[in-house]
Copies of this chain bind each other. A is one copy, B any other.
Amino acid sequence: MGSNPAGRANHLDLRPVSNLPISRFPVPRLEDLPEDVRARILAVQEKSGFVPNVFLALAHRPAEFRAFFAYHDALMDKPGGLTKAEREMIVVATSGANNCQYCVVAHGAILRVRAKNPLLADQVATNYRKADITPRQKAMLDFAMQVALASATVGEADLAALREQGFADEDIWDIAAIAAFFALSNRMANVTSMRPNDEFYLMGRVAK
């Protein structure tokens, strides 16, 4: 995966390794996409060595594609009180609760990479309460799961519990917003029957 010859970035092999459909809906050809969408896809291929299927499946709707990734980047790549690994923990835990195969597999891979921990993602996906995380991280995930599964019950006491663990109000917004954004993402992946790329399964599991 590390070896990604620059010469490869000018074309895109849309066939998944396993030759199975990656979406229930039409997947556009790279050359038919608006320039900015194509550029974003080529950039992620350049960086990762492959194109995560979420980019291809959502490119079917360029306007939604742009908003989706703008939202994603605003939440996942920003500075703040949560580490990047912690943000991915939120994704993996809530996606597990929503039975979203794409997000558990793809963000599980990213979590392993971000946390430099080959075990954490599988633990968090199945039962974060028993994962190798800190009490502060467990409180973070308790709240994220409440947002994912029963957001109408969120009250002042829930925010107070997070503040006791040292979370700033901006961190609380981040936790909530990530859980909320992946509520959207999980539903789109489930409805489109989005297929995780084969590459994700092994990513971050072995030292390079």
Where the two chains meet, the residues of A that have a C-beta atom closer than 8 Å to any C-beta of B are: 18, 20, 24-25, 60-61, 63-64, 66-68, 70-71, 73-75, 78, 96, 98-101, 104-105, 108, 118-119, 122-123, 125-127, 129-132, 147-148, 151-156, 159, 169, 173, 176-177, 179-181, 183-188, 190-193, 195, 198, 201-202, 205-206
Contacts and interface: CB of A to CB of B under 8 A. Distances in A.
Identical subunits present? 6
> Majority SS of interface residues in chain A?
helix
Give 7 nearest A-B pairs by CB, closest first: A99-B152, A67-B71, A180-B187, A63-B74, A151-B190, A67-B70, A184-B184
Contacts of A63: 70, 73-74, 78
B184 A180 contact: yes
Given A67-B70, A67-B71, A132-B20, A176 B154 contact: no
A126 B101 contact: yes
B25 A173 contact: yes
B151 A123 contact: no
A147 B99 contact: no
A86 B127 CA distance: 24
Contacts of A179: 187
Contacts of A127: 99-101, 152, 190
Contacts of A191: 147, 151, 154, 173, 176, 180
